[in-house]
Chain A
Amino acid sequence: MKRAPPSPLPAVFQTWFATRGWTPRAHQLDLLTKARAGDSALLIAPTGAGKTLAGFLPTLVELSSRPRRTRGAGLHTLYISPLKALASDVARNLETPIADMGLDIRVETRTGDTPASKRLRQRRDPPDILLTTPEQLALLLASDDATTLFATVRRVVLDELHAIVASKRGDLLALGLARLRRLAPEATTVGLSATVREPDELRRWLVDRRAGKKAALVVAPPGAPAELSMLDTRERLPWAGHGAAHAIHEIYERIKGAKTTLVFVNTRAQAEAIFQQLWHINEDGLAIALHHGSLDAGQRRKVEAAMVEGRLKAVVCTSTLDLGIDWGDVDLVINVGAPKGASRLLQRIGRANHRLDEPSRAVLVPANRFEVLECRAAIDAAEAGAQDTQLAREGGLDVLCQHILGMACAGPLDARELYGEVVSAEPYAALSQDLFDDALDFVATGGYALKSYDRFAKIKRMQDGRWRVAHPKIAQAYRMNVGTIVESEMLRVRLVRGAGPAKPTGSPRGGQRLINYPARLSGESAPQAAYTGRVTRGGRVLGEIEEYFLEMLSPGDTFLFGGEILSLVGIVENEAHVARARSDSPKVPSYAGGKFPLSTYLAARVREIISNPAKWERLPEQVREWLALQRDKSMLPPANRLLVETFPRGSRHFLVCYPFEGRLAHQTLGMLLTRRMERMGLKPQGFVANEYALAVWSLADVSAPRVDMAGLFARDMLGDDLEEWLEESALMKRTFRNCAVISGLIERRFPGKEKSGRQVTMSTDLVYDVLRRHQPDHILLRAARADAMTGLLDLARLADMLARVEGRIVHRRLARISPLAVPVMLEIGREPVYGEAQDQILAEAASVLIDDAMGPA
Chain B
Amino acid sequence: MNVNAPTMQSAREAFDLAGMAVAPDASGALWIAAERALVVADLHLEKGSAFAERRVLLPPYDTAATLARLTAVIARHDPRVVVALGDSFHDIRAGGRMTERDRDGLRALTSGREWIWIAGNHDPAPPEGLGGVAMPELRLASLTLRHEPVVGSAPGEIAGHLHPVARVWSESGSTRRRCFVGDGARLVLPAFGAYAGGLNIRDVAFGGLFRGEVHAHALGRDRVYRVPMSRCAPD
A residues at B contact (CB < 8 Å): 445-446, 448, 450, 452-453, 456, 458, 470-471, 473-474, 477, 510, 513-518, 520-524, 551, 571, 686, 745-747, 750-751, 756, 758-759, 762-763, 766-767, 769-771, 773-775, 778, 832-833, 835, 837-846, 848-849, 852
Contact = CB atoms under 8 A, between A and B. Distances in A.
Contacts of B165: 762
B19 interface: no
Given A446-B59, A842-B225, A845-B227, A522 B214 contact: yes
28 contacts: A450-B99, A452-B60, A453-B52, A456-B52, A456-B53, A458-B57, A473-B55, A474-B55, A515-B233, A516-B234, A518-B203, A522-B183, A522-B210, A522-B229, A766-B194, A766-B195, A770-B59, A770-B195, A774-B61, A774-B65, A837-B221, A842-B168, A844-B170, A844-B172, A845-B169, A845-B228, A846-B226, A848-B227
Contacts of B198: 759, 762
User: Which of B49, B207, B226, B235 lies at the interface centre, i.e. has the most chain A CB atoms within 10 A of its CB?
Assistant: B235
Given A751-B56, A775-B59, A844-B170, 20 more contacts: A446-B58, A448-B59, A456-B49, A513-B174, A516-B234, A521-B210, A521-B229, A524-B229, A551-B174, A746-B58, A747-B56, A762-B165, A762-B198, A771-B59, A778-B59, A842-B220, A844-B172, A845-B170, A849-B226, A849-B228
A833 B172 contact: yes
A522 B211 CA distance: 7
A571 B200 CA distance: 14
A450 B55 contact: no
Contacts, number: 175
Given A456-B52, A515-B233, A767-B58, A842 B202 contact: no
Contacts of B62: 770
B113 interface: no
Contacts of A750: 56
Contacts of A518: 202-204, 206-207
A842 to B, nearest CB: 4
Contacts of B152: none
Nearest to B203: A518
Nearest to B227: A845
A521 B56 contact: no
B112 interface: no
Contacts of B55: 456, 458, 470-471, 473-474, 477
B31 to A, nearest CB: 19
Nearest to A452: B60
A516 B213 CA distance: 19
Interface string B59-91: 111101100000000000000000000000000
Nearest to B54: A456
A840 B223 CA distance: 12
A833 B174 CA distance: 12
A514 B233 contact: yes
A767 B197 CA distance: 11
A846 B168 CA distance: 9
A446 B207 CA distance: 40
B128 interface: no
Contact of A510 (B57, B169, B204, B213): B169
Nearest to A758: B235
A330 to B, nearest CB: 42
B194 A770 contact: yes
A491 to B, nearest CB: 11
Given A521-B202, A843-B225, A832 B214 contact: no
Contact of B65 (A456, A770, A837): A770
Contact of A520 (B195, B207, B230): B207
B173 A841 contact: yes
B208 interface: yes
A453 B206 CA distance: 37
B6 to A, nearest CB: 17
B153 interface: no
B197 A841 contact: no
Contact of A523 (B168, B175, B213): B213
A773 B173 contact: no
A520 B168 contact: no
A771 B194 CA distance: 11
A842 B177 contact: yes
Contacts of B214: 521-522
Interface string B162-193: 00010011111111110000010000000000
B129 interface: no
B202 A835 contact: no
B57 to A, nearest CB: 3
A746 B52 CA distance: 11
B12 interface: no
Contacts of B226: 846, 849
A749 to B, nearest CB: 12
Contacts of B197: 751, 759, 762-763, 766
A515 B168 contact: no
A504 to B, nearest CB: 19
B107 interface: no
Contacts of A522: 183, 210, 213-214, 229
A25 to B, nearest CB: 54
A795 B224 CA distance: 33
Contacts of A832: 173
Contacts of A448: 57, 59-61
A302 to B, nearest CB: 34
Contact of B233 (A513, A521, A842): A513
Given A521-B210, A846-B225, A751 B169 contact: no
B61 A450 contact: yes
B169 A450 contact: no
Contacts of A846: 225-227
B58 A745 contact: yes
Contacts of A766: 194-197
B231 interface: yes
A840 B202 contact: no
B218 interface: yes
B57 A745 contact: yes
A446 B60 contact: yes
A448 B97 CA distance: 16
B15 to A, nearest CB: 12
A756 B198 CA distance: 12
A523 B184 CA distance: 14
Nearest to A510: B171
B173 A835 contact: yes
B217 to A, nearest CB: 10
A337 B177 CA distance: 38
B92 to A, nearest CB: 18
Contacts of A474: 55
B226 to A, nearest CB: 6
Contact of A841 (B58, B169, B194, B234): B169
A524 B230 CA distance: 8
A575 to B, nearest CB: 14
B235 A773 contact: no
Nearest to B212: A523
Nearest to A771: B59
Nearest to A456: B52
B172 A686 contact: yes
A452 B99 contact: yes
B67 to A, nearest CB: 12
A446 B229 CA distance: 41
Contacts of B53: 456
Report the 3 A-B pairs with minimum CB-CB distance, sorted nearest first.
Answer: A446-B57, A844-B170, A774-B61
A847 to B, nearest CB: 8
B168 A841 contact: yes
B57 A453 contact: yes
Contacts of A471: 55
